[in-house]
């Protein structure tokens, strides 16, 4: 059974007739130009934006789930998070347990390790660098151990080392019964870590399939309107401007 099954999703002036399903164990990368609708899609699935169409989660209508059940099953990492308060890093991570009403120490430890923030514990989140803060907010979502993790550009502000470690953490997180849908602008990393890609153009799906089916010079040049060189046989895969 699909983890999430999205059928004919419409969101006013942002998304048109988007359909796909995600199986347990899969990472789906959502790609496309600025304004194509990647964040909007994730926000619809997270319950932040209203939509028309049908979305089933593990065979049941998502709309029928109580808010708490939904928050336990689906975690959302927004494009940018921040805190106006002087919270400790561990307090931010613990926020991820709110849907469960507990403070599960093992879940908190696992989340800190997966997001690579163990050395940041004990610090104030508002005194961390942008990339450090981004990993703390990722740890918050991981702490909730959602079956489906939605992450809006989780590596956008990260250095090379942490881009790789976060993609590997998400890969490991998805392996098994969980799934991840993330938006990403780095196509080389998308090719390397995502099982399938959804290429959006002006709110509609332009291509959906395995990275080799979606990341073609034809699709990318057409959608991004620049000549693109693609070599997915290379190790690591190469997608670059010509």
Ligand X SMILES: Nc1ncnc2c1ncn2[C@@H]1O[C@H](COP(=O)(O)OP(=O)(O)OP(=O)(O)O)[C@@H](O)[C@H]1O
Interface contacts to ligand X, rule CB under 6 A: 14, 32, 34-40
Residue 180 pairs in a beta bridge with 27, 149
Smallest distance from ligand X to CB 19, Å:
17
| Tokens 């990492």, residue located | 77
Q: Which is nearer to ligand X, 34 or 235 (CB)?
A: 34
Q: Which is nearer to ligand X, 36 or 142 (CB)?
A: 36
Smallest distance from ligand X to CB 16, Å:
11
Smallest distance from ligand X to CB 215, Å:
17
- Cα gap 147→62, rounded to integer Å: 13
Residue 160's φ and ψ, nearest 5 degrees, are: -55, -45
Structure token digits, residue 24: 């347990």
Q: Which is nearer to ligand X, 24 or 33 (CB)?
A: 33
Angle formed by the axes of helices 105-114 and 160-174, nearest 10°: 130
Q: Which is nearer to ligand X, 35 or 236 (CB)?
A: 35
Smallest distance from ligand X to CB 30, Å:
8
Q: Which is nearer to ligand X, 37 or 144 (CB)?
A: 37
Smallest distance from ligand X to CB 152, Å:
7
Smallest distance from ligand X to CB 55, Å:
17
Q: 180 to each of 23, 45, 73, 187, 221, how far by Cα in Å?
A: 10, 12, 12, 17, 27
Pairing assessment for the beta strands 52-57 and 4-11 based on DSSP bridges: antiparallel
Pairing assessment for the beta strands 60-61 and 179-183 based on DSSP bridges: unpaired
Q: Which is nearer to ligand X, 93 or 194 (CB)?
A: 194
- Cα gap 22→27, rounded to integer Å: 8
């Amino acid at each position: 059974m699909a983890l999430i099954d999205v059928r004919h999703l419409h969101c006013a002036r942002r998304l048109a007739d988007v359909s796909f399903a995600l199986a347990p164990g899969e990472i789906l990368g959502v790609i496309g130009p600025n304004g194509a609708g990647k964040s909007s899609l994730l926000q619809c699935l997270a319950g932040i934006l209203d939509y028309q169409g049908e979305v089933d989660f593990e065979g049941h209508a998502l709309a029928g789930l109580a808010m708490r059940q939904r928050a336990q099953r689906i975690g959302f990492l927004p494009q940018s998070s921040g805190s106006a308060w002087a919270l400790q890093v561990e307090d931010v991570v613990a926020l991820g347990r709110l849907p469960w009403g507990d403070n599960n120490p093992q879940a908190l430890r696992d989340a800190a390790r997966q997001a690579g923030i163990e050395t940041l514990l004990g610090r104030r989140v508002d005194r961390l660098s942008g990339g450090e803060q981004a990993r703390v907010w990722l740890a918050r979502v991981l702490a909730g151990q959602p079956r489906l993790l939605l992450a809006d550009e989780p590596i956008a502000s990260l250095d090379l080392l942490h881009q790789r470690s976060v993609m590997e953490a998400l890969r490991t997180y998805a392996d098994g019964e969980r799934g991840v849908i993330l938006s990403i602008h780095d196509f080389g990393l998308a090719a390397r870590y995502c099982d399938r890609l959804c290429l959006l153009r002006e709110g509609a799906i332009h291509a959906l399939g395995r990275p080799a089916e979606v990341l073609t010079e034809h699709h990318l040049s057409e959608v991004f309107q620049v000549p693109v060189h693609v070599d997915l046989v290379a190790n690591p895969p190469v997608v670059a401007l010509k």
